[in-house]
Amino acid sequence: MNTIMKILGINGSPKGEKSQTRRLVLGVLEGARATGADVTFVDVCALKIQYCRACTTCYAKGECIHDDDMPALYEKLLDADGIVLGSPVYINSITAQLKTMLDRMADSVHCLHFTGKYGCAVSTAGGAMAEETAEYMNSAMRMMGATTVGTVSVNFMGNPDAILPAEKKAKELGRKLTEAIRTQWKDPVQQAYHADRKAHMKQLVLANKDVWTHEFDHWTAMGWV
């Protein structure tokens, strides 16, 4: 890539600077920055993001009924070449704040707005499910079209020093993310998944083209229909 790649890191922990997950997100960004990437960190819990109401206005118009911080964050997401999502484990999954952000992105699921982007995820847990939670975040990005390059997760199990090797792995993951973007890395398994998703979404959008006019226009502009 000739232009400077943009990496966006989003932390879903509400603990601010005390967040261990924040340390991992920043570790990924540090690794990416070391390779020359332009990095941006966002604390999603500091933003005002309202719940999705399932009104489908975004499907029809490409915009949301809510007046909050999500549109500006959405612009950052769409502008990024690589995305890092981070969350601690809250009852076997991501935090409510990060889930609220993802729920507001249904239009990106239908429009596959992350096609061509790359992502990775990090997660922390007091006891268990950090790996599964990180993979959930990656799966959400893949649903929107992204290719994911890996995860870093840590189950502390009463050992606060477990963050130290995890931070090192996070920096390595950041370098891996930028290398994937630079080389446009392809994963045959994910390519097959994306082909299936694209075929499914094509039929869904075509079946609703008279009401989901924004999404049909997007698919048409992309040359996918």
CATH superfamily placement of domain 6-186: Flavodoxin domain (3.40.50.360)
In the chain, DSSP finds a helix count (H) and a strand count (E) of 9, 5
Q: What is the pTM of this model?
A: 0.96
Residue 3: what are its φ and ψ, rounded to 5°?
Answer: -90, 160
Q: Give the torsion through C-alpha atoms of 127, 87, 27, 20, to 10 deg.
A: -50
> Which tens digits make up the pLDDT trace of 27-69?
999 999 999 999 999 999 999 999 999 999 999 999 999 999 9
- Predicted confidence at residue 3, as pLDDT, reads 82
CA–CA separation, 97 and 47 (whole Å): 9
Name the band, by pLDDT with cuts 50, 70 and 90, for residue 1: very low
Q: What is residue 50's three-state secondary structure?
A: coil
Q: Are 156 and 129 in contact (CB under 8 A)?
A: no
Q: Are 133 and 143 in contact (CB under 8 A)?
A: no
Domain ranges of the chain: 6-186
> Which tens digits make up the pLDDT trace of 63-84?
999 999 999 999 999 999 999 9
- Predicted confidence at residue 76, as pLDDT, reads 98
- Predicted confidence at residue 111, as pLDDT, reads 98
> Which tens digits make up the pLDDT trace of 200-210?
999 999 999 99
Q: Rounded to 5, what percent of the chain is helix, strand, coil? A: 50, 15, 30
Name the band, by pLDDT with cuts 50, 70 and 90, for residue 118: very high
